Amino acid sequence: MSAGAKAPPTRPTILAVDDDTTNLAILGRLLNPHYRVLAAPSGERALAIAAGEPRPDLILLDVLMPGMDGYAVLGRLRENPATRDIPVIFATGLDSTEDEEKGLALGAVDYIAKPFRPPVVLARVHTHLELKLARDWLKDQNVYLEAEVARRTQDILLVQDITIDALAELAETRDPETGNHIRRTREYVRILATRLQAHPRYSDFLTVTTIELLTKSAPLHDIGKVGIPDHILLKPGRLDPEEWAIMQTHARLGADAIEHAIAHAERDAARPVAFLALAREIAHWHHEKWDGSGYPDGLAGEAIPVSARLMALADVFDALISPRVYKQPMPFDQARAIIVEGRGGHFDPDVVDAFLAGFDEFTAIAGHYRDDEAAATGPV
């Protein structure tokens, strides 16, 4: 073939199956000018050819054959994923309505009676090859569209994650001592949620999807800090009661900001945005305590959303082991003891149990995302 010449188009492949060699010869002479024709004298041989290469585009199948008849062959073709989509036309001397209905019910696409009438055979073959071509095109388009939807969904999720992290880090830049706090607490929440997934009180809520949404939402827990004045947020020491009251408003400020984001998102998308709903819960109530002594609303026990209960422990543990201008980072074992002491008071008892079960994972995360300041103080 000369350079630049186009390859001839591939002709469709027809498999003719008949135990009568005369019928195979007739079909061969009729179809060969237009198609590539394969022949099989038995059902067993037809199955072997159909599963091989080149895969037939259409099968003309006799019904009455010794050994495995056409109905059995069709059944085997439909059982095999490699051959189940090949269209089959029954070509047989059985011409009763009952025989035709049986063949169509088993999955044949058409029924041609013997003796063969060439115009009818050619017309039926052409029609069903065109239909197969259309089905294959639609299948390819669906595969392409599914892949494109998956790709674009991943792009959207990536942008979403980057935006969440950027917003969270914007809040954290107001408080330079926190460093990797959002990364550590995000992973702590994942550990707690995963540990509680099999617990009967939490199993209905903590699905795989919800855990991913919780993990995505966790970095926004302190987004309300952007509304706290610098002289309070950045004060190099403990806050006085008036300053502390202002600091506590960051929980409600964060929840309100996310509430506005939810309103805009649901207006534009016309559907709920699940991760923002969880983010609002976490921002609003992660300083509530199991015994009702927390803020901003004094919620207690089961009234505190699960998402906020998880973040409450994650946030406190990280604060204990992190350096502050007014304190050194606390050793892990000491922080662990304080969390245990808060079981049933500050924290949901089941969440504390999950923390204890996953304590080694907590310390591994703390080490992996360790702040430079903590590293400079030596081991904790």
130: domain CATH number is 3.40.50.2300
What whole-number distance in Å separates Cα of residue 200 and Cα of residue 122? 65
Predicted TM-score (pTM) of the model is 0.59
**Beta-carbon count within 10 A of 230 CB:** 8
Q: Which residues pair with 180 in a beta bridge?
A: none
57's tokens? 């585009």
pLDDT value of position 321: 94
- Which letter does DSSP use for residue 327 in this model? B
**Residues 270, 366: one domain?**
yes
Q: Tokens 């914007």: give the residue.
A: 170
**Residues 205, 111: one domain?**
no
pLDDT value of position 243: 93
Per the domain annotation, does 165 fall within a domain? no
Q: Is the pLDDT of residue 258 over 60?
A: yes
Give the CA distances from residue 312 to residues 288, 293, 294, 325, in Å, rounded to whole numbers and listed in that order: 7, 13, 10, 22
296 prior amide bond cis, ω within 30: yes
What whole-number distance in Å separates Cα of residue 19 and Cα of residue 223? 78
The SS3 assignment for 307 reads helix
Domains in the chain, number: 2
**Residues 96, 245: one domain?**
no
- Tens digit of pLDDT for each residue in 42-89? 999 999 999 999 999 999 999 889 989 999 999 999 999 999 999 999
pLDDT value of position 199: 94
Return the minimum-mean-pLDDT range out of 93-97, 231-235, 237-241.
93-97
> DSSP states of 58-110 as a string?
EEEE-S--SSS-HHHHHHHHHHSTTTTTS-EEEEES--SHHHHHHHHHTT-SE
**Residues 333, 198: one domain?**
yes
pLDDT value of position 49: 94
**Residues 51, 129: one domain?**
yes
